[in-house]
Chains A and B, each alone.
Chain A
Amino acid sequence: MTVAVDKTKCIGCGACVMECSLEAIDLVDGLATPDPNKCKDLGSCVKVCPTNALSLAIPQDSKDELSSEVGSKFNLKEPLPESVSDYAQGNEKKTIRSQVTPIAGGDVWSGVWVIIEYNNGRVAPVSWELLGEGRKLADSLGSELCGVITGYQVDNVIPEAFAYGAEKLYVIDHEVLKDYRTEPYAEAITSLVRKYQPEIILMGATSMGRDVFPAVATKMQTGLTADCTVLGIDPETKLLQQTRPAFGGNIMATILCRARRPQMATVRPRVMEMPERAEGREGELIREEFGLSESDIHTKVLEFIAADARSTFLDKAEIIVSVGLGIAAKRNLVLAEELAEVLGATLAGTRGAVEAGWLSHDQQVGQSGVTVRPKVYIAIGISGAIQHLVGMETSDFIIAINNDPEAPILKVANYGIVGDLFQIVPAMTSEFKKRLQHGVAN
C-alpha cells in the first residue's frame, strides 16, 4: 500500500514532504507524489495535509475517477472547518505538529516586536494598529511587546509608542537614517534583532515595510510572510499563524515559519484594530549605537516629491471618488470633482469613462487598470462589471449611487443608493461641505 493522493485537492504546499520521516513523498510538477518503495503507511502526512488530499486507502472506483482529472483544484467549501474569526480569537483547533523543534540549540528567541514606521515626520498609522495586535500575540505567548524606532530625531515618537502600548522601546537615532533607504534601515533593524533575538517581528505592509523586511529576512536567513490580514498563535506549538490572501485574492493561505527565528510578517494597513491610546504611559527605553556611516551606503536620496490628493497614486489613495458611464457626459465630471475636492479624495473611473476620454488611463480602476483598496470608495453611475469589481471590491467601505436597482455594484456596496445621481451627488457634496467646514460630525 501507498498513501493515495487526490490530485484534485493537492495544492503542492509540501507539508507532507516535510512531515514524512522516511522521505517517501516528494513534489513532482507541483503535486505530492509518494514513492511506493519507501512508503510504509505511517499516515503522518495524512494528518498534516491542509486540504485533506491524502488518504491511506481509497476505493478502486473513485481512483479511476480521479485519474481522469487533470491539474489541481480544490473545494473551497470543504477544506476548513474553522472560520477566519477563529484565527483572530485564537480558537485554533486543528494543530499541525512538526518534527522540527522550533527552538534549537538552546537559543532563546523571545518577545513580539513592532517596527514603527516613521518617515517624513509622520508615523504610519499601521504601526499603532500593530502594537494593538502585537499585544494580543504577546499575551498568548506570555512574552513582552516591544517597539522599534529607527530614524533621525525621533524623540517625539517615543512617548507616542509607549502610549499605544509598547512596554519596551529599542531606538536607533542616527543621521544616516534621516531619509528612508533600504541599506541603513535593514542594517539597523538587523543589528537589533541579532542582539536581542525577538521571536516575532511585525511591520506594516507599506512600501517601506515591503522593501526593508525582505532585506532583513535575507540577512537573518529566516521566513517572511507578506501582506498578512490575520495573525494568531497556535495554542499547542506556539507558532505564529500568518494568514494572507493568495492567488490574486481567490484563496486565503495560512503560513508558518516552523524552525527559524524570528518569525517575520508584514501586515496590511487598516486591517487590525487601532488600540486605545493611554497618554502618559511609560516603558523601558533602550538606545543603541549605529555603526554605519554615509560612506558605507550605496544609495542617496536626491529629492522627495510629496503627493496631495490630486497627484496621489490611485492604489495608495485613502478616499476615491469614481465615475462610470452613468454620468453621461464629460461636463458632468464636475459633480465628482466637487465631491472629491470636499473629501480630499482622488478621482478615478471605469474603463468606459476612460475610453470615453473623460479620464486618463492611469485613473482607471479594474482588471486592465489599477487595483485599489481605499478606506472609502464612492462609485457614481457605475453599474459594476466584473472587470471593475475585481479592482475595487476589497475597499474598506463602498458607497454606490446608481439609478438601476439591479446594478451589480449595489451587491458589493455597504450603502447602495438607488436614485438619480445628478440630484444625490450634489446634495451629498453640500452636506459633506457643511459638516466638514463646521467640524460637526452629527
Chain B
Amino acid sequence: MHFVVCLKQVPDTSEVRIDPHTNTLMREGVPSIINPYDAHGLEEAIRLKDKVGGKVTIVSMGPPQAKEALKKAMSFGADRAILLSDRAFGGSDSLATAYIISTALKTIHETEPIDLVFAGKEAIDGDTAQTGPGIAQRLGFPQLTYAIRIRELTDTSVTVERKTESGRQIVQAQLPALITVEKELNDIRYATLPNMMKAAAYEPELWNVNSLSFDLTQMGLKGSPTSVSRIFAPPGRSGGEIIDGQNDPAGTAASVVQKLFQQNVIMVNPLMKGGKR
C-alpha cells in the first residue's frame, strides 16, 4: 500500500515567550520541530507499512530549511520525502496551501497510486485544521478527521474511531482516503540506528513552482482569499478573588459554592445543557 504523510515544520509554540522587559513576543531562538500531530500521522503510516507492506512518502511545503524536518522524518522509516518550496508559494493561506499540496499529491498519485493520506489534525502554529480537509476535498478522497484509532485496514476500506465532543464515532471509508490524526492515535517510537544513518545521507526532493503544472493564480498571497489585517496582544487574564479559608474551612466552602450557583458557573442540573434552555 502507498501511504502519504503530509508534514509541516513549525516553530515550537510552547517555547515562545514574552520578553518581560520589552513586552515583545520572542521568536528568535525558538526551535523548529515537526508538527507534533503530523509526527503521529507519520508513526501510524510506518506502523501500517510494517504490517501490510508498501511505501511511505512524505510531502511537505515550506522554506528550504524545512528540509531538516524531512530528514528527521525519514529517520523514522519513511521511503521518500518531497519538499515543495518556492517563493511563489509564500503567503499562502489554508485554501491556497491545500491547492499546492493536492496538486503535488495528484502528480504522485498518477505514477504511484495513493491508498491513504495522513495529516495532523492541525498545525500548532496556525491551529486552523483546514489544510487536511482542503486536500481531501480537492483530491475527491473521503476525509476522516480527528482519528484516535485505526480499527481496520483492508484493500478497499479503512475504519477509524473519530473523537467528537459527545463520544467516539466509528466510520468506515472507501480507499483512497485522507485521515487527520490526534495524539491519542499512537505512541511515537524512537528512530532506529540504521534508519538514522540512512536518513543522514538522504536528500529530500525539492519541487518548485516549475516542477508541476501549477495555476499561479491559486497560490501565494494573491491566491489566498484570507489575509491578516492586524495582530495584537491577547487580553490578559484578570486576577480573581483570593479567599482566606484557613480559619473557617467549612464556612468558606459553603459560601464559595453558593457564589458559584448565584453566578451560574455551576447550574442546578449540570446535565441539562443546550437544547432547551
Choose among B225, B237, B260 the residue that contacts A222 (Cβ–Cβ < 8 A).
B225
Choose among A50, A250, A435 the residue that contacts B18 (Cβ–Cβ < 8 A).
A250
Given contacts A257-B225, A259-B225, A442-B261, contact A248 B16 (CB under 8 A): yes
Q: Does any Cβ of B come within 8 Å of A362's Cβ?
A: yes
Asked whether, in the complex, the Cβ of A248 is within 8 Å of the Cβ of B124, the reply is yes
Asked whether, in the complex, the Cβ of B257 is within 8 Å of the Cβ of A218, the reply is no
Choose among A17, A74, A274 the residue that contacts B221 (Cβ–Cβ < 8 A).
A17
Complex: how many Å from CA A210 to CA B225?
A: 18
Complex: how many Å from CA A253 to CA B154?
A: 43
Asked whether, in the complex, the Cβ of A442 is within 8 Å of the Cβ of B258, the reply is yes
Which residue of chain A lies nearest to B93 when distances are taken between CB atoms in the complex?
A: A223
Asked whether, in the complex, the Cβ of A260 is within 8 Å of the Cβ of B166, the reply is no
Which residue of chain A lies nearest to B145 when distances are taken between CB atoms in the complex?
A: A211
Given contacts A206-B165, A241-B229, A255-B229, contact A29 B63 (CB under 8 A): yes
Asked whether, in the complex, the Cβ of A418 is within 8 Å of the Cβ of B13, the reply is no
Asked whether, in the complex, the Cβ of B225 is within 8 Å of the Cβ of A343, the reply is no
The stretch of A37-45, A280-288, A311-319 that contacts the partner chain: A311-319
Q: Which residues of B contact A96 (CB under 8 A)?
A: 229-230
Q: Does any Cβ of A come within 8 Å of B109's Cβ?
A: no
Given contacts A224-B226, A226-B129, A416-B240, contact A344 B232 (CB under 8 A): no
Choose among B146, B173, B233 the residue that contacts A299 (Cβ–Cβ < 8 A).
B173
Size band of the interface chain B makes with A: 35 or more
Q: Does any Cβ of B come within 8 Å of A21's Cβ?
A: no
Asked whether, in the complex, the Cβ of A226 is within 8 Å of the Cβ of B128, the reply is yes
Q: Does any Cβ of A come within 8 Å of B201's Cβ?
A: no
Complex: how many Å from CA A81 to CA B112?
A: 54
Q: Which residues of A contact B270 (CB under 8 A)?
A: 318-319, 343-344, 436
Q: Does any Cβ of A come within 8 Å of B212's Cβ?
A: no
Name, among A94, A300, A367, the residue most crowded by chain B CB atoms within 10 Å (CB to CB): A300
Q: Which residues of A contact B262 (CB under 8 A)?
A: 441-442
Q: Which residues of A contact B276 (CB under 8 A)?
A: 160
Complex: how many Å from CA A302 to CA B258?
A: 45
Asked whether, in the complex, the Cβ of B127 is within 8 Å of the Cβ of A246, the reply is yes
Name, among B144, B252, B271, the residue most crowded by chain A CB atoms within 10 Å (CB to CB): B252
Q: Does any Cβ of B come within 8 Å of A168's Cβ?
A: no
The stretch of B50-58, B130-138, B203-211 that contacts the partner chain: B130-138
Q: How far is the CB of B126 from chain A (nearest CB, A)?
A: 7
Q: Which residues of A contact B252 (CB under 8 A)?
A: 417, 419, 424, 427
Q: Does any Cβ of A come within 8 Å of B256's Cβ?
A: yes
Q: How far is the CB of B241 from chain A (nearest CB, A)?
A: 6
Secondary structure class of chain A's binding surface, majority of residues = mixed
Q: Does any Cβ of B come within 8 Å of A14's Cβ?
A: yes
Q: How far is the CB of A323 from chain B (nearest CB, A)?
A: 17
Given contacts A30-B90, A247-B16, contact A304 B169 (CB under 8 A): yes
A-B contact count (CB 8 A): 349
Q: Which residues of A contact B171 (CB under 8 A)?
A: 181, 299-302
B 239-277 binary contact with A (CB < 8 Å = 1; else 0): 111111110011011101111111001101111011111
Q: Which of A292-335 contact B (CB under 8 A)?
A: 298-307, 311-313, 316, 318-319
Which residue of chain A lies nearest to B245 when distances are taken between CB atoms in the complex?
A: A419
Asked whether, in the complex, the Cβ of A214 is within 8 Å of the Cβ of B134, the reply is yes
Q: By the criterion of a CB under 8 Å from any partner CB, how many residues of chain A are at the interface?
A: 134
Choose among B133, B138, B253 the residue that contacts A424 (Cβ–Cβ < 8 A).
B253
Asked whether, in the complex, the Cβ of A439 is within 8 Å of the Cβ of B268, the reply is yes
Which residue of chain B lies nearest to A366 when distances are taken between CB atoms in the complex?
A: B14
Q: Which residues of B contact A424 (CB under 8 A)?
A: 245, 249, 252-253
The stretch of A105-113, A136-144, A350-358, A397-405 that contacts the partner chain: A397-405
Asked whether, in the complex, the Cβ of A123 is within 8 Å of the Cβ of B275, the reply is yes
Q: Which residues of A contact B244 (CB under 8 A)?
A: 418-419
Which residue of chain A lies nearest to B140 when distances are taken between CB atoms in the complex?
A: A298
The stretch of A57-65, A146-154, A192-200, A406-414 that contacts the partner chain: A406-414
Choose among A213, A343, A403, A415 the residue that contacts B243 (Cβ–Cβ < 8 A).
A415
Given contacts A255-B229, A260-B225, contact A435 B166 (CB under 8 A): no
Q: Which residues of B contact A318 (CB under 8 A)?
A: 270, 273
Q: Which residues of A contact B273 (CB under 8 A)?
A: 125, 318
Q: Which residues of B contact A423 (CB under 8 A)?
A: 249-250, 253
A 110-124 binary contact with B (CB < 8 Å = 1; else 0): 000000000110111
Q: Which residues of B contact A1 (CB under 8 A)?
A: none
Asked whether, in the complex, the Cβ of A274 is within 8 Å of the Cβ of B277, the reply is yes
Choose among B226, B243, B275 the residue that contacts A225 (Cβ–Cβ < 8 A).
B226
Choose among A17, A80, A221, A410 the residue that contacts B95 (Cβ–Cβ < 8 A).
A221
Complex: how many Å from CA A311 to CA B246?
A: 35
Given contacts A302-B172, A305-B167, contact A376 B266 (CB under 8 A): yes
Q: Which of A12-39 contact B (CB under 8 A)?
A: 12-15, 17-18, 26-30
What are 7 A-B pairs at a CB distance below 8 A? A214-B134, A299-B144, A302-B171, A316-B165, A399-B256, A414-B241, A419-B252
Q: Which residues of B contact A (CB under 8 A)?
A: 11, 13-14, 16, 18, 22-28, 63, 87, 90-91, 93-95, 98, 124-130, 132-134, 136-138, 142-146, 159, 162-174, 177, 184, 221-222, 224-235, 237, 239-246, 249-250, 252-254, 256-262, 265-266, 268-271, 273-277
Q: Which residues of A contact B (CB under 8 A)?
A: 11-15, 17-18, 26-30, 48, 50-51, 70-77, 79-80, 83-84, 94, 96, 119-120, 122-125, 128, 160, 179-183, 186, 206-208, 210-211, 213-215, 217-219, 221-227, 241, 245-260, 274, 277, 298-307, 311-313, 316, 318-319, 343-344, 362, 367, 375-376, 390, 393, 397-399, 401, 403, 405, 410-420, 423-425, 427-428, 431-432, 435-436, 439-442
Known: A75-B22, A211-B146, A246-B127. 17 other contacts (CB 8 A): A15-B228, A26-B87, A128-B277, A213-B130, A215-B143, A256-B229, A299-B171, A302-B171, A305-B167, A306-B166, A415-B256, A416-B241, A419-B246, A419-B249, A425-B253, A428-B257, A431-B254
